């Protein structure tokens, strides 16, 4: 058997798949790899295989033996998800009504107003300006606070806890972040039980038969999942388009292409420096694409590689705002499709629409080769995004 490929692969360009990952994908769809922690795993890079396994009950988010978790990120997610991994269908059903088209439509004017205010601040500054700091860090946390019913004065504490919780380089800091987040959410749930408002947490609390612990877990999950990921994706979306003047001009000529541009940049999502994938554990023996997976094996489902599969997307490394992205796995697949996808999409559409209208000449202030990815977080994303106009 050949020597397992070593993760993480060296990332030479923040906008492209790591060359090592691309070379591995060209050789097949399921690969033996060794994680940064030194554990052997299966890395799945083919689109159809990743899609199938994302919605396959032969894989679990949790190892059959909790003490045998092979990956710090997997352990962090398992701890955060709690019962969501074991009672997924019921808890998902609790969440879905709060992400309905009607709810998103009602929230959109707030997102538009807040984005406009943040861009007012941007316009007053002398370029170059770090768009991540000026917009991407501020918008998602304030939107989450408004939607969930978290007092805006708590947003900084809140944001700090979620960032600490996602830290993969410092387990102590991560545990402290999760502790702060859960402690705050416990008090928040108690407050909503006593004095409900017109917000998602209050509405979940009002659902018959929902326990405080369930509301607590869902609240922490929404905060954790909805903040860091959206920060990273705002940076991805904007940089991919600013780095391709032809595609940026296409949007200036026809703003109606914005929803498609959002889907395409999500498909092309910036590589995660850890470039492993969604962590799963096999709960039984099974075979996929000629490879036998054994019960207990660690499996990494690489969505970014799958979204660059040439069998599904022609010229996958190219941004094309008019592309049919219906096969994109950016938000997962099947029963595990991201419940918060509508909220993320809406924020990205608002950001892109307003940037095009107010900063049509915006462009990166540095070369792509000068940009760096964050290595200290489970989510990745840019360290900075300097822009000028």
Q: Is the pLDDT of residue 235 over 60?
A: yes
Helix (H) or strand (E) segment spanning residue 292: strand 291-293
Which range among 161-170, 195-204, 374-383 has the greatest average pLDDT?
195-204
Segments forming the whole domain that contains residue 162 = 5-388
pLDDT in tens, 105-124: 999 999 999 999 999 999 99
Tell me how far apart the alpha carbons of residues 282 and 82 are, in angstroms, rounded to a whole number.
18
Residue 8 structure tokens: 């993480």
3-state secondary structure 200-213: HHHHHHCCCCCCHH
Q: What is the pLDDT of residue 132?
A: 97
Q: Is the pLDDT of residue 6 over 70?
A: yes
Average pLDDT rounded to a whole number, residues 32-43: 94
Beta strand 40-44 with 298-301 is parallel
Which range among 77-91, 99-113, 138-152, 203-217 has the greatest average pLDDT?
99-113
Return the closest-CA partner of residue 11 out of 212, 272, 187: 272
Share of the chain above pLDDT 90, in %: 63
Number of domains, the chain? 1
Share of the chain above pLDDT 70, in %: 92
Q: What is the pLDDT of residue 89?
A: 76
Q: What is the pLDDT of residue 389?
A: 98
Q: Is the pLDDT of residue 280 over 70?
A: yes
Q: What is the pTM of this model?
A: 0.92
Tell me how far apart the alpha carbons of residues 218 and 225 are, in angstroms, rounded to a whole number.
10
Least reliable range by pLDDT among 11-15, 56-60, 192-196, 300-304: 11-15
Residue 19: which CATH number? 1.10.630.10
Return the closest-CA partner of residue 161 out of 213, 76, 217, 220: 220
**Average pLDDT across the chain, whole number:** 89
């Amino acid at each position: 058997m050949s020597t397992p490929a070593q993760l993480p692969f060296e990332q030479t360009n923040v906008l492209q798949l790591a060359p090592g990952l691309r070379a591995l994908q060209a050789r097949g769809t399921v690969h033996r790899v060794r994680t940064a922690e030194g554990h052997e795993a299966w890395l799945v890079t083919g689109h159809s295989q990743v899609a199938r396994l994302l919605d396959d009950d032969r894989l679990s988010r949790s190892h059959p033996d909790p003490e045998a978790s092979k990956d710090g990120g997997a352990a962090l997610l398992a701890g955060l998800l709690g019962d969501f991994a074991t009672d997924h269908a019921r808890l998902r059903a609790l969440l879905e009504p709060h992400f309905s088209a009607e709810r998103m439509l009602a929230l959109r004017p707030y997102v538009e107003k807040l984005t406009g205010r943040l861009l007012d601040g941007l316009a007053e500054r002398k370029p170059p300006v770090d768009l991540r700091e000026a917009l991407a860090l501020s918008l998602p946390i304030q939107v989450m606070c408004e939607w969930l019913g978290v007092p805006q004065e708590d947003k900084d504490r809140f944001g700090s806890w979620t960032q600490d919780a996602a830290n993969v380089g410092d387990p102590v800091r991560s545990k402290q972040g999760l502790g702060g987040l859960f402690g705050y959410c416990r008090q928040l749930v108690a407050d909503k039980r006593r004095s409900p408002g017109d917000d998602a947490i209050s509405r979940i609390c009002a659902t018959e038969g929902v326990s405080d612990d369930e509301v607590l877990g869902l609240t922490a999950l929404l905060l954790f999942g909805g903040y860091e990921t959206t920060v990273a994706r705002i940076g991805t979306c904007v940089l991919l388009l600013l780095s391709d003047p032809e595609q940026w001009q296409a949007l200036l000529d026809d703003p109606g292409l914005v929803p498609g541009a959002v889907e395409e940049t999500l498909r092309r999502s910036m590589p995660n420096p850890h470039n492993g994938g969604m962590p799963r554990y096999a709960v039984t023996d099974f075979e996929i694409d000629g490879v036998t997976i054994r019960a207990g094996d660690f499996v990494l489902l690489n969505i970014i590689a799958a979204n660059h599969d040439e069998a599904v997307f022609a010229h996958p490394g190219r941004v094309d705002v008019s592309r049919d992205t219906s096969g994109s796995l950016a938000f997962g697949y099947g029963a595990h499709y991201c419940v918060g996808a509508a909220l993320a999409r809406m924020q990205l559409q608002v950001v892109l629409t307003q940037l095009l209208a107010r900063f049509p000449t915006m462009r990166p202030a540095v070369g792509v080769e000068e940009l760096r990815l964050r290595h200290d977080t489970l989510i990745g994303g840019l360290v900075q995004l300097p822009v000028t106009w």
